[in-house]
């Protein structure tokens, strides 16, 4: 099906639409940063795992990261290269299989290293082992996304590390960012080097995690490249790795939905859609944040009572089709009265949303589609009743 990528007017059912041109633009930028800074930049699966598009990624990046057995297997089988794995807790049941799929395996604690290093090496003698460290410095303000908050379960702090690292530890992994700028990385790196620099001579590589939002318009990529090249100069023996997720998929496509009804209560008008915030855009409720809607103006989430329906006829809450009372967001101003059947297009709904969705309430899942540059929509996956039923089996 060919569609107008502005209005999606030919599309009459809900779908996440990944736009190939926008994806390639991000991939080009990321691979150029990688080349100019001599850094391996790989895709974090937690943000995106639509494996039917991996052939596009393969043109630009060599590998992916995993944080579980299934992600590791997906990387190995579908991306076609061994993965860099960090998992907070390996177990006897999964360590050998994970190690088989991994080129790099990172332990969250010294006790995990003690329990599973030998098993990992046994399963894959070529594997390079690392340790996650926690610099106790992060500028991420939302606690839900701050891996270095006091009491964090992630990584070994400097005071817990022995002067001499276990012989088989070859790298450090450090994840401190979330949608952050290069200036934040610069300040964080100063803390990392101050706290952990004395161990660097014992290492071969360091992975500075994700959260480097280098494809955002205002991101200073030149600064990032300078920081990484400066690090190379100070520590020429260390290979550098970054593992962003969001940056690859930033602004690469919308969730297209349709209005199914308009209801009104206490002067508040809600357009009920055939998608759900809790099932299909969970970060909006978790973070929380109000997504952009194409052809509409955000009025903000604190406007209850400010725009009574009779005085502001084009202002709506948008409501999900689940039974969760809080499955709505407000308010958006449209330039016309919404009609049943018309499209509501939520911007930037590819990273994290497509991996975090649920089938709560038995609500049908939006299709997954790839929009080619000529406007041709390729169906990657259409979901059915069987998908819901099989999960409950």
Query: Could you tell me which residues are annotated as the binding site for substrate?
Result: 283
Contact flag: residue 22 with ligand PLP (CB under 6 A): no
Binding to ligand PLP (CB under 6 A) within 24-53 occurs at 44, 46-47
In the complex, the smallest distance separating the C-beta of residue 134 from ligand PLP, rounded to whole angstroms, is: 12
Residue nearest to ligand PLP (CB): 210
Map residues 168-197 to x or -, x wherever contact with ligand PLP holds by CB under 6 A. Answer: -------x--x-------------------
Distance CA 197, CA 187 (A): 15
In the complex, the smallest distance separating the C-beta of residue 226 from ligand PLP, rounded to whole angstroms, is: 20
Binding-site residue positions: 283
Strands (E) in the chain, as ranges, are 15-19, 39-41, 43-44, 64-66, 83-86, 102-107, 128-132, 169-173, 205-207, 239-242, 255-265, 268-273, 297-298, 315-319, 328-333, 343-346, 367-371, 377-381
Q: Which of 20, 71, 243, 327 binds ligand PLP (CB under 6 A)?
A: 243
Q: Are strands 377-381 and 367-371 parallel, antiparallel or unpaired?
A: antiparallel
Contact flag: residue 130 with ligand PLP (CB under 6 A): no
Q: Which of 86, 196, 205, 307 binds ligand PLP (CB under 6 A)?
A: 86
Contact flag: residue 258 with ligand PLP (CB under 6 A): no
Distance CA 76, CA 65 (A): 10
144 versus 379: smaller Cβ distance to ligand PLP: 144
Contact flag: residue 17 with ligand PLP (CB under 6 A): no
Distance of CA 103 to the CA centre of its chain: 21
Q: Which of 134, 246, 251, 257 binds ligand PLP (CB under 6 A)?
A: 246
Distance CA 150, CA 146 (A): 9
Which residues fall within 8 angstroms of residue 80, CB to CB, at 6 or more apart? Answer: 54, 58
Q: Which of 130, 211, 291, 320 binds ligand PLP (CB under 6 A)?
A: 211
Residue 286 CB neighbour total at 10 angstroms: 15
Contact flag: residue 244 with ligand PLP (CB under 6 A): yes
Which residues fall within 8 angstroms of residue 130, CB to CB, at 6 or more apart? Answer: 104, 105, 106, 107, 169, 170, 171, 172, 173, 205, 207
**Given the rule CB under 6 A, which of 16-24, 160-168, 207-215, 342-350 is the region that contacts ligand PLP?**
207-215
Looking at residue 364, what DSSP letter applies?
A: P
Where does this chain bind ligand PLP (CB under 6 A)?
Answer: 44, 46-47, 86, 175, 178, 209-211, 243-247
């Amino acid at each position: 099906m060919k569609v107008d990528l502005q209005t999606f007017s030919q599309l009459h059912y809900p779908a996440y639409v990944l736009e190939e041109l926008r994806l390639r633009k991000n991939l080009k930028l990321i691979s150029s940063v990688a080349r100019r800074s001599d850094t391996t930049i790989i895709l974090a699966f937690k943000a995106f795992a639509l494996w039917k598009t991996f052939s596009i990624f393969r043109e630009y990046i060599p590998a992916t990261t995993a944080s579980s057995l299934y992600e590791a297997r997906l990387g190995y089988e579908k991306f076609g290269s061994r993965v860099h794995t960090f998992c907070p807790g390996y177990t006897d049941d999964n360590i050998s299989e994970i190690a088989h799929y991994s080129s790099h395996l990172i332990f969250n604690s010294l006790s995990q290293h003690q329990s599973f290093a030998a098993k990992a090496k046994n399963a894959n003698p070529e594997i390079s082992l690392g340790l996650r460290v926690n610099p106790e410095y992060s500028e991420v303000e939302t606690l839900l996304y701050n891996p270095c908050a006091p009491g964090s379960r992630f990584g070994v702090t400097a005071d817990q590390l022995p002067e001499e690292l276990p012989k088989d530890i070859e790298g450090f992994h450090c994840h401190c960012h979330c949608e952050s700028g290069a200036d934040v990385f610069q300040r964080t790196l100063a803390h990392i080097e101050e706290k952990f620099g004395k161990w660097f001579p014992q290492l071969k590589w360091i992975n500075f995690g994700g959260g480097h939002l280098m494809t955002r318009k205002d991101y200073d990529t030149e600064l990032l490249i300078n920081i990484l090249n400066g690090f190379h100069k100070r520590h020429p023996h260390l290979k550098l790795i970054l593992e962003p997720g969001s940056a690859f998929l930033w602004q690469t496509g919308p969730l297209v939905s349709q209005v199914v009804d308009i209801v009104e209560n206490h002067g508040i008008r809600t357009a009920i859609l055939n998608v759900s915030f809790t099932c299909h855009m969970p970060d909006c409720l978790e973070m929380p944040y109000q997504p952009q809607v194409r052809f509409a103006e955000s009025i903000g989430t604190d406007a209850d009572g400010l725009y009574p329906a009779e005085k502001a006829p084009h202002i709506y809450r948008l409501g999900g089709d689940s039974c969760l009372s809080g499955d709505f967001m407000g308010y958006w101003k449209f330039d016309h009265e919404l009609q049943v059947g018309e499209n509501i297009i939520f911007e930037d709904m590819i990273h994290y949303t497509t991996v975090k969705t649920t089938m709560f309430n038995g609500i049908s899942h939006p299709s997954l589609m790839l929009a080619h540059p000529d406007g041709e929509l390729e169906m990657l996956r259409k979901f059915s009743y069987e998908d819901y039923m099989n999960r409950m089996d």
